[in-house]
Chains A and B, each alone.
Chain A
Amino acid sequence: SAVISQKPSRDICQRGTSLTIQCQVDSQVTMMFWYRQQPGQSLTLIATANQGSEATYESGFVIDKFPISRPNLTFSTLTVSNMSPEDSSIYLCSVDRQGRAYNEQFFGPGTRLTVL
């Protein structure tokens, strides 16, 4: 299995500010994924981050709002820019790894963001 940590675990932010979320994996992985989970909702993929290339964003998500860095094979950051209350969500990073399953996604504990 993969051990994934995220920082911060939670934050309360003011409208118009930005927050950078860090994701650290205990071993090297090619692909890292960022998801958003709005209150009471399921998980929606924001983008896929590969080391050494630009992140690939899903429909409805743009780089200016959610810039992503992937400086090495064990680390990634997601920034939520110019925040509004609608950005209040849990943000999760995950990695794809062949674990017990054929192709399992392991998730970090999430970052719980509240925007006032």
Chain B
Amino acid sequence: GESVGLHLPTLSVQEGDNSIINCAYSNSASDYFIWYKQESGKGPQFIIDIRSNMDKRQGQRVTVLLNKTVKHLSLQIAATQPGDSAVYFCAEKGSGTYKYIFGTGTRLKVLA
């Protein structure tokens, strides 16, 4: 495998349990957020997004929560599966800019 995630914080979760991955973002002016999943040997892939006028958004098995007061973003994965094992990054973008700022990332390890 590749070295992505070797030194990142790791969350170990039992298969079937729910996972919660947290991210503290940096800019209070950011108005758009994305969660990415990066599997070993691949580029990041989009999971779910949320705009700053929302505090919750649900997808298939995933939910993103946004707390603008404390600049906190979380990703909840329901019924975690072995295929969910990867590194997860949050990314933020400010209004009027095309640049994304990526968080430090969390490695999710699903235990059988």
Which A residues contact B (CB, under 8 angstroms)?
Answer: 4, 31, 37, 39-45, 48, 90, 92, 94, 96, 99-110, 112
Contacts and interface: CB of A to CB of B under 8 A. Distances in A.
How many interface residues does chain B have, given as a range? 20 to 34
Interface of B: 2-8, 32, 34, 36, 41-46, 49, 51, 89, 91, 93, 98-100, 102-105
B46 A43 contact: no
Nearest to A4: B43
A109 B3 contact: no
Contact of A42 (B2, B6, B104): B104
Contacts of B104: 41-42
Contacts of B45: 107
A101 B49 contact: yes
A40 B46 contact: no
Contacts of B4: 37, 39-40, 90
A105 B46 CA distance: 8
B46 A104 contact: yes
Contacts of B93: 103
